[in-house]
Copies of this chain bind each other. A is one copy, B any other.
Amino acid sequence: MGIGDDAAVLELTPGAALLATTDLVIEDVHFRRASASPRDIGWKALAVNLSDIAAMGGIPRWALVALALPASTEAEDVDAFYAGMREAAAPHAVVIVGGDTSASPDGWMINVTLLGEHSGTPRLRSMARAGDAVAVTGALGRSAAGLAALEQGRAPARAGISSGAIEEITRAHLRPTARVAEGAWLGAQPSVHALMDCSDGLATDLGHICRESRVAARVRLERLPVSSAVREAARALGKDPIEWATGGGEDYELLLTCEAAAAKALADGLLSATGTPLTVIGEIAGGEPGVTWLDARGEAVVMQAGYEHFHG
């Protein structure tokens, strides 16, 4: 009720808590028009918010979409933007219930606020405990590999990457899939302690868990789930696939800590419930908050520590 009125009027499931998250997506900061279509931009602007709700173990419900566009924008680009957004929203029955539009003096700017609900106990970044296993859904480094390929310009195949690999990594960058079903399933398991999404890169995000839970983490680099497409792109572009996996960001996988003894059952259960793998990549210990990276011989190595957008 009230859509098109001053505010949307929404009915939460009785007893559920409300979840709310908001994300800015700005041209030449978060995307480039040269490599992202309006449909991609709409998809991703919604997907990054879906991922935030998934990271709380919640159910996404309603989106508010604010869109500022230059006067020169074509109507078909605006239609394609909303089509991409609806395409990302549809599998989750998320409805756009309100928004705002404005002229932009410069490029495209999008703000999406996503509202969701949660009927149990949301898992927070502060809930990791010493002795926990650290695990991640899916695979890491795809989005960074896709960005690197796109930044090569319009003919990434010339860089010597197969079209199948290009498709996998550019899709991961332009049309990321939020782990909504995985978040809801994981968030309902008592053995899951801390849960968040891996949007700023494993190094930064696991660092948040360490700081907010006042624990240390050790990650075994050889255990990081990195797809052959990412390894292929890294070889072709002269990059380190492990750096993409630890520092690349925008993978929108879920990062969690859980009771170590329950990790295998969790992975089996998640795979059977959603088809998505869960990989144990390390463990939580007491001590000074921070992430230690261990190589195959168990020796600490230094990895790049974060993810920056185009700017700066």
Contacts and interface: CB of A to CB of B under 8 A. Distances in A.
B52 A102 contact: no
Given A103-B29, A105-B311, A196 B5 contact: yes
21 contacts: A2-B19, A2-B56, A6-B53, A6-B56, A7-B19, A7-B53, A7-B58, A7-B114, A8-B20, A9-B118, A11-B18, A20-B62, A21-B64, A21-B98, A22-B66, A24-B102, A29-B105, A103-B309, A103-B311, A109-B109, A111-B113
A40 to B, nearest CB: 18
- State the oligomeric state as a number of copies: 2
Nearest to A309: B103
Contacts of A269: none
B105 A26 contact: yes
A201 interface: no
B18 A122 contact: no
A238 interface: no
Interface residues of A, number: 64
Interface of A: 1-2, 4-12, 14, 17-24, 26-30, 51-53, 55-56, 58, 62, 64-66, 68, 71, 97-107, 109, 111, 113-116, 118, 122, 124-125, 196-197, 212, 309, 311-312
Contacts of A106: 105-107
A246 to B, nearest CB: 20
B9 A19 contact: yes
Contacts of A1: 122, 124
A107 B107 contact: no
A6 B21 contact: yes
B8 A21 contact: yes
A201 to B, nearest CB: 15
A312 B52 contact: no
B22 A100 contact: yes
B6 A55 contact: yes
Nearest to A99: B22
Contacts of A2: 19, 56, 122, 124
Given A26-B109, A29-B104, A8 B12 contact: no
Contacts of A212: 4
A178 B64 CA distance: 21
B100 A23 contact: yes
Contact of A113 (B22, B27, B101): B22
Contact of A21 (B7, B58, B65, B125): B7
A10 B18 contact: yes
A17 B66 CA distance: 22
Contacts of A20: 7-8, 10, 62, 64, 97-98, 113, 115
Contacts of A12: 12, 18
A203 B27 CA distance: 35
Nearest to A197: B6
A55 B122 contact: no
B22 A196 contact: no
